[in-house]
A and B are shown apart, each in its own frame.
Chain A
Amino acid sequence: QITLKESGPTLVKPTQTLSVTCTFSGFSLSTSGVGVGWIRQPPGKALEWLGIIYWDDDKHYSPSLKNRLRLTKDTSKSQVVLTLTNADPVDTATYYCAHKHWNFNWFDPWGPGTLVTVSS
């Protein structure tokens, strides 16, 4: 059974760095084709795809966040970390991580999400 869970600070000040950790079980990020994707959702708004990190450490980022977003993985700890620099109130959202199927680009399952608020 695959499970994922996001964790991190719930409140971040503007200009600081927002960091969320995804801890997963039931799969290995060293398995060919596997990836962990990140998606966020501002309160009351739609899903926004942020990026993905693959088993081979390849990454893709949303063009709108490319300059501020970084994804890193620690395979031994079964963790992926999302880092978003220079946080702004518009970054306030629930952040989700999700498992990417080894052979296709769909995401299932997802973690429960964590709400991060950017405010002074």
Chain B
Amino acid sequence: DIQMTQSPSSLSASVGDRVTMTCRASQSISNYLNWYQQKPGKAPKLLIHAASILQGGVPSRFSGSGSGTDFTLTISSLQAEDFASYYCQQSDSAPFTFGPGTKVDIK
């Protein structure tokens, strides 16, 4: 099974900051990598699929990159509504494992 790791596990940032978080797969998954955003008490929401394709309605300040084993999610200018947890998920092969998440909170 493919294992996913994320770093950092949490970060503190201010509105307007550029934020970057990473996700790593235990083996190559090409670009079969998805990012989800989860706010407290809510279901996760798909942000990015295929490593870099924004889901419809997702603000352009979000971007994803990477292929193979290493991936990055960047928020170019953090907004108040972006404070949440972010999870990566590999969709290369079942089981479609999630990473442990990165929590973004207010500095």
Residues of A within 8 A of B (CB): 37, 39, 46-49, 51-52, 60-63, 96, 104-113
| B98 pairs with A104, CB closer than 8 A | no
Least distance between B25 CB and chain A CB atoms (Å): 14
Main secondary structure, interface of B, reads loop
Q: State A51–B1 Cα separation when bound (angstroms).
A: 13
Q: Using a CB-CB cutoff of 8 Å, which residues 5-64 of chain B contact chain A? A: 32, 34, 36, 38, 42-46, 49-50, 55
**What's the count of A-B pairs with C-beta under 8 Å?**
61
| B91 pairs with A105, CB closer than 8 A | yes
Known: A46-B87, A105-B92, A107-B89. 15 other contacts (CB 8 A): A39-B98, A46-B100, A46-B101, A47-B87, A47-B98, A48-B98, A49-B98, A51-B95, A52-B94, A52-B96, A60-B95, A105-B32, A110-B45, A111-B43, A113-B43
